[in-house]
Amino acid sequence: MNSLHSSHLQPNGYWVVNLFVLLCYCTGALTEYCDEFINDRGLPEDWPCDWNNGVIPYAFNFYSQSPKRLIGLVKKGHEHLEKLSCLKFKEYNPVTLANSPNVTYLYYTYSGVLENCCLDFYTNYIGRRLVLLTPMCTMGLEVAHVTLHGMGLWHRRLKAFSDAQAKAVLFPIDCNNIVDKVHGYEKGRIRIL
Ligand SMILES: [Zn+2]
């Protein structure tokens, strides 16, 4: 009886162990592939793997004052970026994202700080990245700038973003019209500060 049980259980046991080993192997391989992708493309160190398809999740703080203004400003910023890059911004319900701890997303809210629209501040590498819009943020270009800060771009005070890193972030994947878009970026027709 025992041998009958063991002969039936053993293969199942091996199957579970093999599946576990396979899952670990796949996870390790995916992480390695992601690290290579980030290094090869020259993306920021804190670039999350789930942005490799160029789709950036985001949500609004609907509890802020004047949420309509916030939404209008951010949409203008996203339109500016989508026009000049291969990025797409996808809005989610903030509660859904808050319950998805492994998803890295931009979370737009206001800051009361009276500085220009250039706060390179967020709290998390993984999960919710705060993008703070100061009262000085009024134009799509400015919101695009602070969005790129939220995506990990950085620059010296009163300097522009590094061209190479900005291009890596703006074009993490190929898309329609990529040649024209890169050309447009290089020619400076549409600039990011
Ligand atoms: Zn800045």
pLDDT at 180: 92
* Cα–Cα distance list, 188 to 39, 113, 176, 193 (Å): 26, 30, 20, 10
Distance from residue 165's CA to the centre of ligand 1 (Å): 14
CB < 8 Å & 24+ apart, contacts of 44-48: 44/151, 44/152, 44/153, 44/154, 44/165, 44/168, 44/169, 45/152, 46/125, 46/152, 47/151, 47/152, 47/169, 47/172, 48/104, 48/125, 48/126
- What pTM does this model have? 0.82
How much distance in Å is there from the Cα of 136 to the middle of ligand 1?
13
Please tell me the distance between residue 146's alpha carbon and the centre of ligand 1 in angstroms. Answer: 6
CA 97–ligand 1 middle distance (angstroms): 26
Per-residue model confidence (pLDDT) at position 4: 46
Confidence band of 193 (pLDDT split at 50, 70, 90): low
- For ligand 1, the distance from its centroid to the CA atom of residue 155, given in whole angstroms, is 6
The residues spanned by each domain of the chain are 1-41, 53-187
Tell me how far the alpha carbon of residue 115 lies from the centroid of ligand 1, in angstroms.
11
pLDDT digit string, tens, across residues 45-93: 899 999 999 999 999 998 888 899 999 999 999 999 999 999 999 999 9
- In the predicted model, is pLDDT for residue 122 greater than 80? no
66 CA to centre of ligand 1 in angstroms? 24
The pLDDT score that the predictor gives to residue 188 is 75
Q: Output the CA 77–ligand 1 centroid distance in Å.
A: 14
pLDDT tens-digit readout, 16-33: 666 555 555 555 666 777
In CATH, the number for domain 53-187 is: 3.40.390
Report helix, strand or coil for 15.
helix
The pLDDT tens digits of the residues spanning 30-53 come to: 677 788 888 899 999 899 999 999
Distance from the alpha carbon of residue 122 to the mean position of ligand 1, in angstroms: 13
Please give all residues whose CB falls under 5 A of ion ligand 1, grouped by chain where several chains appear.
118
Report how far ligand 1's centroid is from the alpha carbon of 57 (Å).
21
